Amino acid sequence: MKITLHKKIAAYFGYKFTRINENINQNQNLQTIELIKQHKIDLILDVGANFGQFGTDMRNAGYLGQIISFEPVNKCYQHLSSIADDKWKIENFALGDKNSKEEINISNKTVYSSILNVNEIGKSNFSNSIKVVGKQNILVKKLDDIINKLVNNLNKRRVFLKLDTQGYDNRVIRGSLQTLEHVQVLQTEISCKGIYMDTPSVPQRLEELLNLGFSITDIFPISRDKNTMEILEFDCLLIRTNK
């Protein structure tokens, strides 16, 4: 029996088949948009935008405010530029804890592209998807050094900072300490079993985030070890609680 027939039968009885990972993404998007509404977010900083999946999801969910996406991989940047609206600005560089020139590893599936090198856990779990097929020279900038050139009256804005930089999130945070004072909601990817070299542990990441005045509202597993089912990475949603 083809899956299309299954869908037709389910629809007849008022149900719908949904892939498990698609359902997880839908739940995360619902939680995210609710936080955006509650905290009256009017600026999203989308760091590690890839092909604009996060920004597109937020637009589809009804968010009409400003988005600034940061994406260093040229192929992804070009696509982003083609889909962005008048209130969605695209920047073609990476963010980190220092201003520098780096080389990024371009993976077969670009979402896995990273400045960091893939380790054996990454190779064994994501094989061809994470395989490096090219390299690109990129600029890395500290968010604190450029934010006032990109955003007017930052102290009056309600900011959502979304990070997805493949093992580099903690470095982005350290280059954004002043900007973080204006961030109401934060989303960052945390590694339980890192798939890139030199990624910090869960306790290190959480201690840093909590010390910066944030509290966890939810976690969403992204990937699991295909042999043990241990969580490899999860998205962590946090809100500022020290103001």
Q: What is the CATH number of the domain that holds 236?
A: 3.40.50.150
30, 95, 227 from 41: Cα distances, Å: 15, 21, 40
Domain that holds residue 167: 20-240
Asked if residue 109 has pLDDT above 70, the reply is yes
Q: Is residue 15 part of a domain?
A: no
Q: Is residue 94 part of a domain?
A: yes
d(CA 203, CA 214): 14
Q: Is residue 6 part of a domain?
A: no
| Amino acid 197: pLDDT | 96
Its pTM stands at 0.88
Q: Is residue 7 part of a domain?
A: no
Q: Is residue 71 part of a domain?
A: yes
Tell me the pLDDT tens digit for each residue of 40-49.
999 999 999 9
Domain count across the chain: 1
Q: Is residue 206 part of a domain?
A: yes
- The token pair at 25 is 């993404």
Amino acid sitting at position 53: Q
Q: Is residue 13 part of a domain?
A: no
User: In this structure, how many other beta carbons lie within 10 angstroms of the beta carbon of residue 178?
Assistant: 14
Tell me the pLDDT tens digit for each residue of 129-150.
999 999 999 999 999 999 999 9
Tell me the pLDDT tens digit for each residue of 23-33.
545 688 999 99
| Amino acid 27: pLDDT | 82
Q: Is residue 61 part of a domain?
A: yes
- The token pair at 11 is 């629809």
- 88, 79 in Cβ contact below 8 A? no
